[in-house]
Amino acid sequence: MAVKGQRPHALTDVPFHYCPGCTHGIVHRLVAEVIDELGCEGKTVGVASVGCSVFTYNYFNCDMVQAPHGRAPAVATGVKRARPDNVVFTYQGDGDLAAIGAGETVHAAARGENIVAIFINNAIYGMTGGQMAPTTLPGQVTQTTPYGRDVKTAGNPIRVCEMLSSLDGVALAQRVTVDCVKNVKQAKAAIKKAFQYQMEGRGYCIIEVVSTCPTNWGLAPQDAVKWLRENMLPYYPLGVYKDIGEAKE
Amino acid sequence: MGERVLMKGNEAIAQAAISAGCRHFFGYPITPQTEVAAYMSKMMPKVGGVYLQGESEVASINMVLGAAAAGVRVMTSTSSPGISLMSEGISYIAGSDVPCVIVNVQRGGPGLGGIQPSQSDYFQATRSTGHGDFHLIVFAPSTIQETVDLVNKAFDIGDKYRMPVMILSDGMLGQMMEPVVLPEETNTAKDKPWAACGHQGKRKHNVINSLYIDPNELERLVRERFEKYKTIQATEQMAEEYMTEDADIIVVAYGASSRVSRSAVDMARKQGIKAGLIRPITLWPYPVDTIKKVAKTAKVFLSVEMSMGQMVDDVRLAVNGAVPVEFYGRTGGIIPTPKEVYDQIVRLNGGVQ
Ligand SMILES: Cc1ncc(C[n+]2csc(CCOP(=O)(O)OP(=O)(O)O)c2C)c(N)n1
Ligand code: SF4
């Protein structure tokens, strides 16, 4: 009997706690498949952040460290500097990476820290029940922007890949999504490239995944995908914002 | 034993850490501890270590968390305002049961305060630096030699109990120079099977974490940690006694203020006043056993601090009403003179006979 699909080895058998239609699960799987394909599980250390994905430390089979809210890039820096042979990645939401941890993100990127950031941009704070995130769209209604995000008072969203792409330490900054098979494949290829760049010691890599949060968007899973396509993707265009290119032999 | 050299307190801290096998240092500049970082940035590349200036104390302490989680000996150093910023990370380090050494070369506060020596972070150091139920082991050296010895011990004791350890110094000890004998570097690599450094396919994955959603599990873990704290309180107290056997008046002081207090005790003894000194070396665990023992024979205690009175609470708890406990302090970066402390001893003695 041919096995068509099975759980990647890099994922434990602990069931995900994510809501139906949430894209966190897909991204976990892609990261795990990349770890399997690169055969690096035994030397990988993941850094879990504070947000809906905090329990990633239970889901990935590699060693894991749980960081304070926003501090994953600094914790990952500590791990990587202590163990340069390890493959180190962070898994962060938009509140974690672009609000409370913006400083740590910018400086890890500027230093060209050899880590990979998997960045889940779902335009909202999921774990705490749907407050405004630094990536919440103009006019978007959240628990703390009940009349829609007014950029005059609540400020403007941050396009993280665009912002970080100006930094010399960044090797790869790419925005992907996982709304359809084609994009899922592209997302996986981007994640794989980021891990490979790290193993070659090329610098900071960030893969931003435009994601859904049906629960806090107040939408059914299918409608959430539609909303993502119609609202998120125009504001956060997919693409490669920086890529220093394959290593020369 | 190594050679005898003349060293500045802050540089001695850095060199002692390197001798203790510390090869990872993360920090952010602040007076009056800057020499620690400067020394580390000069020496670490020479010994194959890592010096990294973080973008803030917040980032630096989290780099410490990462390196400690990965199982290496790691240190950071800062001064008072920096500890405030590190508090979050220190709480996570304690909650994750990973060892590290944190140096606080105290300066005056609150706020930006001043850059002169102070002891006003005693509460912060001993009453848990950050949120939650936890303790740090806190060492308070009073000479440069003792600083070196305690930094060495801090790494060992931290590894032993998987705890953060603080060296509570101050601007005076950090800036002054004294001769020291540096210890020879020994093999300090400890086996840390719990570390997150890659399982190499040989074991289950390690998780370094402080999150426990189930309150029963969290309570159980905190209680376990407090059992460990009990052992530490029973076995790791350190204090020096100076002329306490026949003393009526006991000065209690640590760090810089203990140096002044020792001179004041000598002055009092010359006048025939029976004064003595207890110098706590561990501030947590507090040396209650020494204080309790001496409280059986002494008539009065005097806590001398460079603060408005913080350690005096611990003296009172230890003395437990057996005899009166008084306080004398200067703050804002002012070091009391031996004469000021001597005058207090004379006052408690009811004058000079
Ligand atoms: C210091 C601190 N402040 C606030 C919180 C509360 N908090 C937990 S998760 C979170 C937001 C997470 O949002 P995001 O990073 O976007 O991740 P998501 O939950 O959407 O996946 C906040 C504010 C915290 N845990 N720690
Ligand atoms: S709240 Fe949102 S981000 Fe969190 S698990 Fe549910 S759908 Fe996903």
Closest CA to A134 of A123, A126, A145, A119: A123
Q: How far is the CA of A122 from the centre of ligand 2 (A)?
A: 9
> Which residue shows structure tokens 């840390």?
B192
- d(CA A136, CA A152) in angstroms, rounded, equals 14
pLDDT at B1 over 80: no
A101: nearest CA partner in chain B:
B59
Contact predicate B126/B105, CB 8 Å: no
The number of helices, as runs of H, and strands, as runs of E, in chain A is 11, 7
- d(CA A113, CA B115) in angstroms, rounded, equals 33
DSSP string, B73-117: -EEEEE-HHHHHHHHHHHHHHHHTT--EEEEEEEB--STT--SSB
pLDDT at A249 over 80: no
Q: How far is the CA of A67 from the centre of ligand 1 (A)?
A: 12
What's the ipTM?
0.96
Q: Give tens-digit pLDDT for A166-176.
A: 999 999 999 99
Give the pLDDT score at A1.
60
The number of helices, as runs of H, and strands, as runs of E, in chain B is 12, 15
B98: nearest CA partner in chain A:
A65
Give the pLDDT score at B128.
75
pLDDT at A214 over 70: yes
The alpha-carbon gap from A213 to the nearest alpha carbon of chain B, in Å, equals 22
pLDDT at A184 over 80: yes
Which 3 state secondary structure label does DSSP give B242? Answer: strand
Give the pLDDT score at A141.
97
Closest CA to A170 of A120, A118, A106: A106
Q: Which ligand is nearest to the CA of A97?
A: 1
Q: Is B353 among the domain residues?
A: no
Residue B125 sits at the vertex; the CA angle it makes with B121 and B129, to the nearest 5 degrees, is 110
Q: Is the peptide bond before B285 cis (omega within 30 degrees of 0)?
A: yes
**pLDDT average, residue stretch B143-169:** 97
Domains in chain B: how many in total? Answer: 2
B177 and B326 fall within a common domain: no
Contact predicate A49/A72, CB 8 Å: yes
Q: Is B152 among the domain residues?
A: yes
B28 and B88 fall within a common domain: yes
Those residues with Cβ within 8 angstroms of residue B347's Cβ, 6 or more apart along the chain or in another chain: none
B90: nearest CA partner in chain A:
A68
Q: Give tens-digit pLDDT for B42-61.
A: 999 999 999 999 999 999 99
Position with higher pLDDT, A198 vs B183: A198
pLDDT band at A2, cuts 50/70/90? low
User: Among A128-132, A154-158, B185-189, B195-199, where is mean pLDDT lowest?
Assistant: B185-189
Q: Give tens-digit pLDDT for B212-258.
A: 999 999 999 999 999 999 999 999 999 999 999 999 999 999 999 99
B282 and B222 fall within a common domain: no
Which residues form the domain of B97? 4-235
Of A12, A66, A71, Cβ closest to residue B209: A66
Closest CA to A106 of A156, A154, A57, A173: A173
The residue out of B208, B235, B262 marking a domain boundary is B235
pLDDT at A232 over 60: yes
Domains and CATH numbers, chain A: 24-242 (3.40.50.970)
Give the pLDDT score at B322.
97
The residue out of B215, B235, B255 marking a domain boundary is B235
Those residues with Cβ within 8 angstroms of residue A96's Cβ, 6 or more apart along the chain or in another chain: A49, A50, A51, A69, A70, A72
pLDDT band at B67, cuts 50/70/90? very high
Residues in B closer than 8 angstroms to A85, CB to CB, are 198
Residue A152 sits at the vertex; the CA angle it makes with A146 and A157, to the nearest 5 degrees, is 75
Give the pLDDT score at A42.
98
B45 and B184 fall within a common domain: yes
pLDDT at A246 over 80: no
Which 3 state secondary structure label does DSSP give A243? Answer: strand
Residues 77-116 of A with CB under 8 A from B: 77-83, 85-86, 103-104, 106-107
B208 and B265 fall within a common domain: no
How is residue B187 written in tokens?
A: 């093999």
Contact predicate A241/A228, CB 8 Å: no
H or E element in which residue B64 lies: helix B57-69
pLDDT at B29 over 70: yes
